[in-house]
């Protein structure tokens, strides 16, 4: 299937008038780009047209509309926090890649939580012994069991509570309470302050939010029940732990170990022959390449094995590395623990979970979709 269609082809397939096609583009339903052969024309992404064509063919029955709304990439609720447009990631209208050049995660938290210059004093969290992932879940679960629900609380109280939840999660990663910027605390915990603090800071900013991904949606559904902010963070953590979300880094590491064991060409050929997707490459929301990966790679030199794999996979598949591959390469460069990519991801994305929880709480609405039943008919 061709990748791009002319306006005439797109309108013919969808039965649209020109003004309707342009409205679809402005709403982000169809991506458009200039025609290199004719500067007066635009081309329209065929994949987007095909998706809309499929939806139109199914009709506008309520069940079909609901099922499409839950499909990957379709909007399901209004939010003023983050959007993915024009191949970029935007936090409240600001380019995340540009913010990553100098901002700290604390700055992004204030931006996403929409709380101005609110100061967040660090708190001393009691961190239980154990492996980092066990500590993270234990600390947030303890708060979820005791923190008050959001209902009826002032905005300032909720902002302070959000800061406390984030600080507790960082303490759990670091192994105990600390002071200073979050990226510096993590770099100190991993003994990589000189080389690691700057790229870790950048990674935290780039991973802070990603619109309604699985973990954020889980946190937002939890917030819609009026639960505490810690409970919302716990829901986000649970979803993030899945291998298709925050658990991609171990799959990237497994690929790199296969490459080390079998050689680059053999390992990639074995994967591609089975039709398996290579972890850490491509992203359906970024057809032109993940801008977060580009922004993170600008802060460090990947290890030779990762650079060679990136070049070879690009040649074979045409796909660019995504943020999961970049984060895995960073962990390898800094000789971080194997679970460090997940820990960085969790610390960063917690700011987004809390932002969405605060925003959902403002609506006072319960998120309660319906299922399209396909089981046996009721007796």
Q: Which residues are catalytic?
A: 283, 324
**In this structure, what token pair is assigned to residue 262?**
């079998």
Q: Please give the biggest Cα pair distance in the chain.
A: 68
Category of 358 on φ-ψ map: left (φ > 0), alpha (ψ -120 to 50) or beta: alpha
Among 157, 138, 181, smallest CA distance to 358 is for 157
Note whether 235 and 152 are within 8 A (CB).
no
Q: Which residues contact 210 (CB under 8 A, 6 or more apart)?
A: 82, 84, 89, 216, 349, 352
For residue 275, give both structure tokens: 């039709």
Handedness of CA 124, 195, 338, 99 (dihedral sign): positive
Token couple for 118 = 């609110």
Query: What does DSSP say about strands 82-85 and 88-91: parallel, antiparallel, or unpaired?
Result: antiparallel
- C-alpha to C-alpha distance for 172 and 350, rounded to whole angstroms: 13
CB 113 within 8 A of CB 159: yes
> Are 172 and 54 in contact, with CB atoms under 8 Å apart?
no
From residue 365, alpha-carbon distances to 65, 92, 357, 359 in Å are 20, 22, 12, 11
Cα–Cα dist 182/197, whole Å? 9
Task: Evaluate whether 212 touches 76 at the Cβ level (below 8 Å).
Answer: yes
Q: Are 70 and 203 in contact (CB under 8 A)?
A: no
The Cα–Cα gap between 179 and 165 comes to 15
276 is written with which tokens?
Answer: 């398996």
List 44's β-bridge partners, or say none.
Answer: 5, 32
- DSSP reduced 3-state for 351: helix
């Amino acid at each position: 299937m061709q990748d791009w269609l002319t306006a005439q082809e797109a309108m013919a397939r969808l039965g649209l008038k020109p003004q309707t096609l342009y409205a679809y583009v402005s709403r982000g339903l169809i991506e458009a780009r200039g025609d290199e052969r004719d500067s007066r024309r635009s081309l329209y992404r065929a994949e987007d047209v095909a998706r809309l064509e499929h939806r139109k063919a199914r009709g506008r029955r309520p069940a079909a509309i609901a099922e499409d709304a839950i499909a990957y990439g379709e909007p399901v609720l209004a939010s003023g926090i983050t959007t993915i447009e024009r191949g970029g990631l935007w936090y409240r209208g600001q380019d995340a890649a540009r913010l990553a050049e100098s901002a700290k995660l604390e700055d992004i938290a204030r931006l996403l939580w929409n709380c101005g210059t609110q100061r967040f004093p660090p708190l001393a969290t009691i961190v239980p012994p154990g492996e980092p992932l066990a500590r993270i879940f234990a600390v947030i679960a303890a708060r979820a069991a005791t923190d008050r629900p959001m209902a009826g609380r002032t905005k300032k109280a909720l902002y302070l509570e959000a800061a406390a939840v984030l600080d507790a999660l960082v303490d759990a990663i670091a192994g105990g309470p600390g002071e200073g910027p979050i990226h510096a605390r993590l770099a100190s915990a991993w003994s990589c302050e000189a080389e690691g603090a700057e790229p870790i800071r950048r990674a935290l900013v780039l991973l802070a939010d990603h619109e309604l991904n699985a973990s954020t949606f889980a946190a937002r559904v939890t917030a819609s029940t009026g639960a505490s902010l810690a409970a919302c963070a716990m829901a986000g953590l649970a979803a993030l732990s899945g291998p298709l979300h925050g658990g991609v880094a171990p799959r990237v590491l497994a690929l790199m170990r296969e490459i080390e064991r079998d050689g680059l060409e053999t390992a990639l050929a074995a994967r591609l022959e089975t039709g398996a997707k290579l972890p850490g490459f491509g992203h359906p929301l970024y057809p032109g390449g993940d801008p977060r990966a580009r922004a993170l790679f600008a802060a460090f030199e990947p290890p030779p094995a990762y650079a060679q794999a990136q070049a070879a996979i690009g040649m074979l598949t045409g796909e660019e590395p995504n943020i999961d591959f970049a984060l895995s390469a960073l962990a390898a460069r800094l000789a971080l623990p194997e679970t460090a990519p997940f820990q960085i991801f969790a610390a960063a994305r917690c700011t987004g979970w809390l932002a969405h929880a605060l925003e959902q709480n403002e609506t006072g609405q319960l998120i309660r979709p319906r299922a399209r039943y396909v089981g046996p008919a009721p007796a």
